[in-house]
Amino acid sequence: MVLNNILNLFFPKLCGACSKPIINCVDELCINCEIHLVYESNPNRTKIPKALRGRVEIEKGVFFIDFTKKEGVQQVLHSIKYQNQKKLAIYLSEELTKKLGATFFETIDVMIPVPLHPKKFKIRGFNQADLIATGIHNCFKIPIDTTSLQRKEFTDSQTKKNRLERWKNVQNAFEVKDKTALNKKHILLLDDVFTTGATLEACIKTIQKEVDCTFSILTLARA
Ligand SMILES: [Zn+2]
């Protein structure tokens, strides 16, 4: 601890969201970002089900951080995606999972992080949705399935696309590798951000074509 504090003087740990030095070297976030991203974030359970109404059936849908409203903290998801902020993603996932509480997870049989194409995984080195799964698993021991659903198509980035383009881009991107593993299960699909929901919709439609199961959705943010 003493060594840590001394090291921290010379090489201060930086906040995962805003990159300002953190004085307390235990956390991944500075106090300001901790307040915005954790303390002030309340699980929103209505907007995802509403956005998917008429498109796919889900049991529950929840996100925590609304980037469509908050200024100044948008950096965090970018950090998680591109600056290898693995610890931050797991930390945020743990903190927000605790806020959501055990009852949300009671009926969930298995978690599936939205898969990345193997090529993209290789470039980035990790899948941010896997880290969210790890955070939840650290709190409630729900099994994580990263093999039954896979990404077969290398899709373009969704960021510059509108809703229709996003849907066309991902509708055939996924395939089910193991039907029996998912049969009759309540699956919690995980992703970092909910934007138009096209990717999650594609996952659900792909699985539902072949397997009898139900779905819920959890993302860290809405953007
Ligand atoms: Zn910060």
pLDDT tens digit sequence for 185-211: 999 999 988 999 999 999 999 999 999
Indicate the number of domains in the chain: 1
188 in any annotated domain: yes
Range of the domain at 163: 41-222
CA of 137 to the centre of ligand 1 (A): 25
Task: Give the least confident one: 40-49, 67-76, 193-202.
Answer: 67-76
Residue 77 clears pLDDT 80, i.e. is over it: no
Residue 218 CA to ligand 1 centre (angstroms):
24
What's the CATH code of the domain at 168? 3.40.50
Ligand 1 mean position, distance from CA 73 (Å): 8
Q: How close is the Cα of 36 to the center of ligand 1, in Å?
A: 9
Q: Is residue 197 part of a domain?
A: yes
Question: Tens of pLDDT along 140-178?
Answer: 999 999 999 999 877 777 777 787 888 888 888 999 999
- If pLDDT is split at 50, 70 and 90, which confidence band does 35 have? confident
Report residue 38 as tokens. 């954790």
Distance 27 CA to ligand 1 centre (A): 11
CA–centroid distance, residue 28 to ligand 1 (Å):
9
pLDDT of residue 171: 85
In a domain, 15, yes or no: no
Q: Residue 68's pLDDT is what?
A: 77
Q: Is residue 109 part of a domain?
A: yes
Residue 20 lies in a domain: no
Ligand 1: centre distance to CA 69 (Å): 18
Which of the pair, 103 or 157, is modelled with greater confidence?
A: 103
Distance 70 CA to ligand 1 centre (A): 14
Asked whether residue 6 is assigned to any structural domain, the reply reads no
Q: What's the pTM value of the predicted model, to 2 decimals?
A: 0.87
Q: Which of 30-39, 52-61, 68-77, 149-158 has the lowest mean pLDDT?
A: 68-77
Mean pLDDT of the chain: 87
Residue 46 forms part of a structural domain: yes
86-100 and 128-139 helices, crossing angle to 10° = 50
Does some domain include residue 8? no
